[in-house]
Chains A and B, each alone.
Chain A
Amino acid sequence: GENVEQHPSTLSVQEGDSAVIKCTYSDSASNYFPWYKQELGKRPQLIIDIRSNVGEKKDQRIAVTLNKTAKHFSLHITETQPEDSAVYFCQPPHLNYGGSQGNLIFGKGTKLSVKP
């Protein structure tokens, strides 16, 4: 079943600082680990993802790291900017109550505020 923890629920940083959001999961039902960003009033959009055959992936100022042994993956944002202010959701692998596999449930989200 589902057991997803995303921390912290809110995060406030100064512009230029780094931000780290962590997602812990229990079911190893998939090898896909994405992060989505939802700006205020907009739809969620994928910003970065990683497959379980690698431990880290970077895309400019954002990165995702994966620790399969500890069952958590983290989103790292460096040199934060005001436009990074949004809610970030992880989407861990899970086993549906019926036993089906998927990447369909989301963490509860982290509201990131970047102060100029």
Chain B
Amino acid sequence: KAGVTQTPRYLIKTRGQQVTLSCSPISGHRSVSWYQQTPGQGLQFLFEYFSETQRNKGNFPGRFSGRQFSNSRSEMNVSTLELGDSALYLCASSRGDRDTLEQYFGPGTRLTVT
């Protein structure tokens, strides 16, 4: 079956702008999580959505938000971009139930803020 897809793959934005990233999970997966990956900080957890509801949240400012649609596709939005938001943004999907916790990652969106 098709894997996790993310669009766009690369993005260049200017400080102060906003950006929306998209993630399509594996068919049948109801959980989508978002991560920010930078060389110095590893994989930082942003938030998790399950059945259109935010179920878990990391320690990121309110400029970072997300949502999930009824088909489990998820979007992540970053408003008022800062230079420090430059990173690889990864989403991961899983079935989301207690017995199947393995996460499958997408290829990521490389965001550059200038």
Contacts and interface: CB of A to CB of B under 8 A. Distances in A.
Interface of A: 30, 32, 34, 36, 43-46, 49, 89, 91, 96-98, 100, 102-109
- The binding surface of chain B is classed by DSSP as strand
B38 to A, nearest CB: 11
B70 interface: no
Interface in B83-114: 90, 92, 101-103, 105-108
Interface residues of B, number: 21
Given A34-B101, A103-B101, A104-B33, A44 B90 contact: yes
Contacts, number: 51
Interface of B: 33, 35, 41-43, 45, 48, 55-59, 90, 92, 101-103, 105-108
A106 B108 CA distance: 17
